[in-house]
Amino acid sequence: MSAKNERGRRLTIPVVVEFEDVDAYGIAHHTKLVAYLERARARFLLSLGVDLARTDLHLVLYDLAVRFKRTAALLDALEVTVSVSSVDAVRLDLSYAIRKEGLLVARATTALAFVDGATKAVVPIPEDVRRALE
């Protein structure tokens, strides 16, 4: 894969831990932290012109890795940062950090592909998106 490194493309969003996100241990459940990543990703891609609501072109996750460093509690104010790690013709790798008062709550990476909504086949990343990412 001849991925190109990306410099400077990033976005940070605020997320507050809601009661619905807290588990029996009194901390944000890990699946919710994974969902927070997607919230940053959705806004980041939207800023690049990718509309997640389109039903003819799906953005599909096929690889996810998360390292949890600290717990987050009810009403904690988090910051979720997403940045481009690499992009090639068909694959977009993003990196994430979730922070609470500057301290790392989690680090994560995802690999994404664009899929035709009807055929479910992987398609090349749209040219304009790829250009915006590089």
The binding site for a copy of itself (CB under 8 A) comprises 18-20, 22-26, 29-32, 34-35, 38-39, 42, 46, 52-53, 55, 58, 60-69, 71, 73-75, 117, 120
Q: How far is the CB of 57 from a copy of itself (least distance, A)?
A: 10
Task: Identify which of residues 65 and 89 has a Cβ nearer to a copy of itself in the complex.
Answer: 65
Q: How far is the CB of 104 from a copy of itself (least distance, A)?
A: 12
Q: How far is the CB of 39 from a copy of itself (least distance, A)?
A: 5
Task: Identify which of residues 11 and 42 has a Cβ nearer to a copy of itself in the complex.
Answer: 42
In 3D, which of 6, 75, 78, 70 has the Cα closest to residue 35? 78
Task: Identify which of residues 58 and 134 has a Cβ nearer to a copy of itself in the complex.
Answer: 58
Q: How far is the CB of 32 from a copy of itself (least distance, A)?
A: 8
